[in-house]
Chains A and B, each alone.
Chain A
Amino acid sequence: MASKQQDVKELVERKYKHGFVTDIESETLPPGIDESVIHHISRMKGEPQFMLDWRLKAFRLWQDMQEPEWAKLEIEPIDYQAISYYSAPKRDKNAPKSLDEVDPKLLETYDKLGIPLHERARLAGVAVDAVFDSVSVTTTFKEKLAAAGVIFCSFSEAVQNHPELVERYLGTVVPQRDNFFAALNSAVFTDGSFVYVPKGVRCPMELSTYFRINAANTGQFERTLIIADEGSHVSYLEGCTAPQRDENQLHAAVVELIAERDAEIKYSTVQNWYPGDEDGRGGIYNFVTKRGDCRGDHSKISWTQVEAGSAITWKYPSCILRGAESVGEFYSVAVTNNRQQADTGTKMIHIGRDTRSTIISKGISAGRAQNAYRGLVRMLPTADNARNYTQCDSLLMGNQCGAHTFPYMEIKNPSAVVEHEATTSKIADDQLFYCRQRGLSEEDAVNMIVNGFCRDVFRELPMEFAVEAQNLMNVSLEGAVG
């Protein structure tokens, strides 16, 4: 009979499914960063002066900043001069106007990832803004969205076509000086997504972006800005994968969300970047700053994330609850396996009266992985009757992994109510045996238990993502049976 430890060992020896490289000539800058690189990026993108100035300011701030060291992560030193900060697929000077003009190899890549870019996309009603390395390749459904007045385009296009919106909102949630990685991103970001939903508009479809890092030794620094104007509603889906490589790649993204009065933003992520091999070789270093600002009264921002990939995840999607009666939510499943490390969680900053926040965090550790939840709930003196509910559950598989919970609370208003619940459990042999005794194979039993553990989060995902997330879990647990 296979021992539990063997089972877990087999379970963690699954192979990464998206580990292929697309052979396309890239225009890549030589490694290194200085002001000339910033100038080059800005010039390549034909940016207005304000953008260049903004980048340069960020770069100067970044030079005096230090990498954060408080996270429970062991990271090899990153040589920022060894990274190339710009990589674009080579193509004709004119951007593709339709899918027919897009390099078939690119489309093939997306096909392997199962991204519904073709007709399937239309049927599924998903608009995809696909980011290949740093340049947005194609954007579908623009017309339909335009009819509703929704702007959904690459960040570069937004800078060209809607500079006034970009200038007004960029950096207002995550300022350049916010942290080391946000400052670096602000200096060198090459593309990303931009969404503006005008007053009173309910976005007619789920917006979706797939990011993919392809070129070797390329950092990807995308920047996403989503603005939901008064009374509007938008749901945004983000999916990520990256090919398999022996060296580590840096990913430092920034996402800013702004919800005006009565507006609602739902932001869902399924992150499956390459996690590295069994011995921790390769894999993405994922340092992401995501923050939403509930600027107006009765606004709502909801983060849902399923973090399954990356060698290192450093990510705290947060909400600033400024407007009265605004609502922040954070639903997270973080899975770490082999040598993966995750330090993830959220910050809920309650400023307005009667603000409410909910945090549901589920961490799953297997192999020799380390998984930490780090969360801050801050109730400012102005946050009368604010409420927070936090629930952090950790599931351990095997006895070589770790789960850690770091809840921080700063309560400066006596009327605030903060609740915190935390559990840590092993995927109990008893649970496995119970399911197997009912006739389920070990693999099915593990899948069932893990999916049950994650249910509170999965049910927050849009339907098509919920299925993907469940499949991702099952793939992660493939080979559990000896």
Chain B
Amino acid sequence: MLLNIENLHASVGGTEIIKGLNLQINPGEVHAIMGPNGSGKSTLAQALAGKPGYEITAGAVSYKGENLLELEADERARAGIFLGFQYPVEIPGVSNVYLLKAALNARRKESGQDEIDSVEFMRLVREKAKLMQLDQAFLSRGVNEGFSGGEKKRNEIFQMAVLEPDLAILDETDSGLDIDALKVVANGVNAQRDGQRSFLLITHYQRLLDYIQPDFVHVLAGGRIVKSGNRDLALELEANGYDAVLAAAAG
């Protein structure tokens, strides 16, 4: 098992948001977590990535058989966890490729590899940029600086493609995208599915799942997974709405 979450409780600013969540992800699986606003979807993503201020009050999370909760955010990243941010921040003056190269080398160093040489790096970056339909000029721009909403999301998937994580958590990567951008993002994700890499897709809408076929769909409400199923569950949510599904789960 790649990731095993048991009875997770997490608080932000003293308020408990995640209230006893269980989830298991095996290598190669794609899980989608859906839920209404305020159900704790993004909190789960941030807590798994180790964002400071997200306090784990109870429960256990193991990743590759190790206690994930003991690791700092950067250690988790170097261990292969990637978070695609819902709102990627701008870092003025730091070029996209500069950050990416530092990130890639940090991961390589962790696994005992040499730093990537510049020619190889640029070849890799160009290839992945093409996949995400990102312009070359985009690479030397400041990180997310002046990017449109769609560019920011494509940039997240571009980074994921270069860093090749073992577990990618994509937090509402589909929000704010038009249908063309959504297809580009979905293609980028699908290209990364290799039977080993696992994904946790966090989304409010079923729409994304038309393009990325999940193995499992979970409904998150009140900080807990209240229902799990396959792709049909997402379609059911779309057809009947969260309220009906939640009421049925509660009943």
Contact = CB atoms under 8 A, between A and B. Distances in A.
A44 interface: no
Contacts of B17: none
B35 interface: no
A438 B89 contact: no
Nearest to B142: A452
Q: Which of A2, A434, A444 has the most CB of B within 10 A?
A: A434
A456 B99 contact: no
A429 B93 contact: no
Contacts of A439: 74, 77-78, 103, 106-107, 110, 163
Given A438-B77, A452-B91, A452-B93, A433 B51 contact: yes
A332 to B, nearest CB: 15
A435 interface: yes
Interface residues of A, number: 28
Contacts of A451: 93-94
Contact of A448 (B52, B77, B99): B99
Nearest to B95: A452
Interface in A437-481: 437-442, 444-445, 448-449, 451-456
A361 B138 CA distance: 26
B122 interface: no
Interface residues on B, range: 20 to 34
A439 B160 CA distance: 12
A409 interface: no
A15 interface: no
A436 B88 CA distance: 13
A428 interface: yes
Contact of A428 (B78, B89, B159): B89
B72 A438 contact: no
Nearest to A454: B93
Contacts of A437: 49-51, 73-74, 76-77, 82-83, 85
Contacts of A449: 91, 94
B74 A442 contact: yes
B92 interface: yes
A436 B77 contact: yes
Interface string A202-224: 00000000000000000000000
Given A3-B52, A451-B93, A440 B85 contact: no
B106 A433 contact: no
A420 interface: no
Contacts of B58: none
B99 A438 contact: yes
A430 interface: yes
A114 to B, nearest CB: 26
A4 B102 CA distance: 22
Nearest to B107: A439
Contacts of B241: none
A455 B140 CA distance: 14
25 contacts: A1-B50, A1-B72, A3-B52, A4-B52, A428-B89, A430-B89, A431-B91, A433-B49, A433-B52, A433-B73, A434-B89, A436-B73, A437-B73, A437-B77, A438-B77, A438-B103, A439-B74, A439-B103, A439-B106, A439-B110, A439-B163, A452-B92, A452-B94, A454-B93, A455-B93
Interface of A: 1-4, 428-431, 433-442, 444-445, 448-449, 451-456
Given A431-B91, A437-B76, A439-B107, 17 more contacts: A1-B52, A429-B53, A436-B73, A437-B49, A437-B74, A437-B82, A438-B99, A438-B100, A438-B103, A440-B102, A442-B74, A449-B91, A449-B94, A451-B94, A452-B93, A452-B142, A453-B92
